């Protein structure tokens, strides 16, 4: 055994002595926690998922705000109602797929928008 | 009995440029170059930049005017981005088959022999379009019974646009393989460098087909075992197997060119300390400990009185401790330092690496384990803080963060995928046209 006592650094970088590892929280041999991980909910395919920061107020009536983070999956085939990241010669936009022009290229499909209601 | 291997080499086209273009589609079709970490020379070129005659490793200061005149977009290397994209490619490939060898940041070998594939060319096209669509990076794929042939096939797949990025050289029956071999000059064969090519020319061997027809005895005389294996590989007999996944790396090397040549020991010491800290962090990330190290210092080789000094040291125990490693390296640099010289570059190398798990009390009886654990915990905390809040949030006092030697990366693109503060920004729109 290389560690009989676990030492972890918390978010402030302060060392916290957590005592003996709790077997209920530790996966066999891996030392990984079993607690829910938001990545499971938000990122189905890490290899094709990219995050973008949104700018502008055009979609506020749809609950999408300036400063939100969009989760984009490039592996998905867009449906007309999907929100997508599209590239065109004049620049890039995030909008509904059905409102694209035929020459616009879909870069990826939005699978989630993350909005923080309170800053720390 | 296991089946004979079937190798696919997946090679990312102009990889660093392709990573930059992923977040800048406006650069498609435009000439682009990526410069090394000190903005010293060209390390990746788009096809358009190649067509304009920009050579690989072109020194940036010589070509600045040409870049400007020709409208060539320049980027400083963004290794955080390239590393992340490379891992995405690897994870897609590993999902196809676990029999994957990451050969370099932009090349991987796959062994396809365990997969049931009818049409390898079609398989290659599907893999290629998946990587392009999902990760966003164009690739070239060569498929063959040996690694050397797979590499050769991927080069042709890259050059010849009619192949749509995939070349299958599995079959030796058709005249196709011979045609490609005879179209490959000796110097472009994997493993034939600038030193061997003239030697082969003298023997009347100008291309891969001629080389593949050398007798193994003759090849052995000319190039030793390496040459004999090369000839066998070119004729379809595999000599090199897939390297096992997760094989332990043998060395960690880090080096830095100073912003300007220096005779100040503090500048050198600070650089060495920071390189040491980076190397020690790499060790810990990979669960390794180093037992030996090398420090080398050199002056500018284009100036008179070129000096190159190198000192190897043995660390008194296998370690990944930043404080200990940097202190040892700095002391070695002090011994090498000549105040009369103007230094251009410093390098460090850590070797004799062992896995952290191999450190057993009975193996290294003299090590004070309690001390070792305290040091591990301290370093883990340091790594956690730095990975959470960015490199260099916490660093040892000797690490100098001044601009004298830090890579110039003036033209670096954002860390799009590795820093919350640098995510790509996109405007929302009700309609794309307005």
Residue B381 belongs to a domain with what CATH number? 3.30.1490.100
Q: State the burial class of residue B373 (Cβ atoms within 10 Å of its Cβ: 0-12, 13-18, 19+).
A: middle
CA distances from B141 to B95, B124, B138, B150, B301 (A): 17, 6, 10, 8, 39
Query: A14-53: per-residue pLDDT in tens?
Result: 444 444 544 444 444 444 557 888 988 999 999 999 999 9
Please judge whether A51 and B423 are an interchain contact, meaning their C-beta atoms are less than 8 angstroms apart.
Answer: yes
Last-in-domain residue among B120, B143, B170: B170
Q: Is residue B429 part of a domain?
A: no
- B48 & B190 share domain: no
Provide the H-helix boundaries in A16-120: 38-42
Range with the lowest mean pLDDT among B399-403, B406-410, B425-429?
B399-403
Q: Is residue B108 part of a domain?
A: yes
Please check whether residue A1 touches B, CB under 8 A. Answer: no
**B chain contacts of residue A55, beta-carbon cutoff 8 Å:** 425-428
- The domain total for chain B is 3
Rg (CA), chain B: 24
pLDDT band (50, 70, 90) for residue B112: very high
Please judge whether B430 and A74 are an interchain contact, meaning their C-beta atoms are less than 8 angstroms apart.
Answer: no
Query: B178-201: per-residue pLDDT in tens?
Result: 999 999 998 888 888 777 888 899
Q: State the burial class of residue A88 (Cβ atoms within 10 Å of its Cβ: 0-12, 13-18, 19+).
A: middle
Query: A51-70: per-residue pLDDT in tens?
Result: 999 999 999 999 999 999 99
What local confidence, expressed as pLDDT, does residue B195 receive? 73
**Among candidates B1, B34, B2, which has minimal Cα distance to B15?**
B34
- Three-state DSSP class for residue B409: coil
| Residue of chain A nearest B137, judged by CA positions | A48
Query: B282-328: per-residue pLDDT in tens?
Result: 888 887 888 888 899 999 888 888 888 888 888 877 888 888 899 99
CA distances from A19 to B178, B244, B326, B374, B381 (A): 67, 37, 32, 15, 16
DSSP symbol at B172: S
CA distances from A45 to B12, B134, B145, B418 (A): 21, 9, 32, 17
CA distances from A7 to A16, B377, B384, B395 (A): 6, 7, 12, 20
- Three-state DSSP class for residue B222: helix
Please check whether residue A87 touches B, CB under 8 A. Answer: yes
- Three-state DSSP class for residue B235: coil
| Closest Cα in chain B, distance from residue A47 (Å) | 4
| Closest Cα in chain A, distance from residue B227 (Å) | 39
pLDDT band (50, 70, 90) for residue B123: very high
Mean pLDDT of chain B: 85
Tallying the residues shown for chain B, one arrives at 434
- Which residue range(s) make up the domain with B119? 8-170
Give the separation between CA B296 and CA A60, rounded to whole angstroms: 58
Please check whether residue A7 touches B, CB under 8 A. Answer: yes
- B183 & B150 share domain: no
What local confidence, expressed as pLDDT, does residue A90 receive? 78
B160-194: buried (b, 16+ CB within 10 Å) or exposed (e) per residue? eeebebbbbbbeeeeeebeebbeebebeebbbbee
| Residue of chain A nearest B394, judged by CA positions | A13
Candidate from A52, A55, A75 with C-beta closest to B133:
A75
- B140 & B183 share domain: no
Using a pLDDT cut of 90, give the percent of chain B over it: 50
Rg (CA), chain A: 20
Q: Is residue B362 part of a domain?
A: yes
**B chain contacts of residue A75, beta-carbon cutoff 8 Å:** 133-134
Please judge whether B425 and A69 are an interchain contact, meaning their C-beta atoms are less than 8 angstroms apart.
Answer: no
CA B14 to chain centre: 13
Asked if residues A53 and B424 have their Cβ atoms less than 8 Å apart, the reply is yes
Those of residues 21-60 in B touching chain A at CB distance below 8 A are 25-26
Torsional sign, CA B317, B318, B320, B322: positive
What ipTM did this prediction achieve? 0.76
Please judge whether A95 and B432 are an interchain contact, meaning their C-beta atoms are less than 8 angstroms apart.
Answer: yes
- B205 & B302 share domain: no
- B261 & B234 share domain: no
Those of residues 117-136 in B touching chain A at CB distance below 8 A are 133-136
- B273 & B381 share domain: yes
| Closest Cα in chain B, distance from residue A107 (Å) | 9
Please judge whether B373 and A99 are an interchain contact, meaning their C-beta atoms are less than 8 angstroms apart.
Answer: no
- B238 & B270 share domain: no
């Amino acid at each position: 055994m290389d560690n009989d006592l676990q030492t972890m650094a918390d978010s402030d970088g302060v060392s916290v002595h957590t005592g003996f590892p709790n077997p209920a929280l530790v996966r066999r041999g891996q030392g990984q926690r079993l607690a829910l991980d938001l990545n499971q909910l938000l990122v189905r395919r890490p290899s094709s998922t990219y995050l973008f920061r949104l700018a502008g107020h055009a979609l506020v009536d749809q609950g999408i705000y300036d400063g939100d983070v969009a989760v984009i999956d490039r592996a998905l085939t867009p449906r007309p109602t999907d929100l997508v990241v599209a590239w065109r010669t004049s620049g890039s936009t995030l909008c509904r797929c059905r409102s694209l022009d035929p020459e616009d290229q879909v870069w990826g499909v939005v699978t989630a928008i993350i909005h923080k209601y309170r800053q720390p | 009995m296991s089946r004979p291997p079937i190798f696919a080499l997946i090679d990312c086209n102009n990889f660093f440029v392709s990573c930059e273009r992923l977040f800048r589609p406006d650069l498609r079709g435009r000439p682009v170059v990526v410069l090394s970490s000190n903005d010293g020379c060209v390390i990746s070129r788009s096809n358009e930049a190649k067509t304009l005659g920009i050579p690989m490793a072109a020194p940036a200061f010589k070509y600045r005017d040409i870049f400007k005149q020709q409208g060539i977009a320049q980027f400083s290397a963004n290794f955080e981005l390239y590393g992340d994209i490379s891992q995405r490619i690897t994870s897609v490939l590993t999902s196809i088959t676990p029999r994957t060898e990451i050969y370099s940041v932009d090349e991987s070998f796959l062994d396809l022999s365990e997969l049931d594939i009818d049409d390898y060319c079609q398989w290659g096209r599907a893999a290629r379009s998946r990587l392009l669509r999902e990760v966003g990076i164009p690739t070239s794929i060569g498929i063959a019974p040996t690694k050397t042939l797979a590499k050769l096939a991927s080069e042709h797949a890259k050059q010849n646009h009619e192949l749509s990025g995939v070349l299958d050289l599995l079959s030796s029956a058709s005249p196709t393989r011979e045609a490609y071999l005879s179209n490959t000059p000796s110097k472009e064969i994997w493993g034939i460098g600038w030193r061997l090519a003239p030697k082969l020319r003298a023997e009347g061997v100008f291309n891969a087909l001629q080389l593949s027809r050398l007798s193994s005895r003759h090849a052995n005389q000319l190039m030793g075992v390496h040459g004999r294996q090369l000839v066998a590989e070119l004729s379809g007999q595999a000599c090199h197997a897939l390297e096992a996944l997760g094989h332990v790396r043998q060395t960690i090397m880090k080096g830095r060119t100073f912003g300007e040549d220096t005779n100040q020991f503090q500048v050198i010491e600070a650089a060495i300390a920071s390189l040491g800290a980076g190397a020690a962090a790499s060790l810990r990330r990979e669960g390794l400990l180093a037992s030996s190290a090398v420090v080398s210092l050199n002056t500018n080789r284009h100036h008179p009185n070129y000096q190159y000094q190198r000192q190897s040291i043995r660390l008194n125990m296998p370690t990944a401790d930043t404080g200990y490693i940097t202190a040892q390296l700095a002391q070695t640099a002090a011994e090498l330092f000549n105040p009369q010289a103007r230094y251009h570059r410093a390098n460090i190398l850590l070797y004799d690496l062992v896995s952290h798990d191999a450190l057993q009390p009975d193996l290294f009886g003299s090590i004070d384990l309690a001390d070792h654990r305290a040091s591990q915990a301290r370093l883990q905390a340091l790594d956690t803080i730095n990975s959470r809040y960015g490199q260099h949030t916490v660093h040892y006092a000797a690490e100098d963060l001044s601009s004298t030697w830090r890579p110039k990366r003036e033209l670096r693109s954002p860390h799009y995928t590795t820093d919350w503060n640098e995510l790509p920004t996109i405007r929302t729109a009700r309609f794309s046209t307005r």
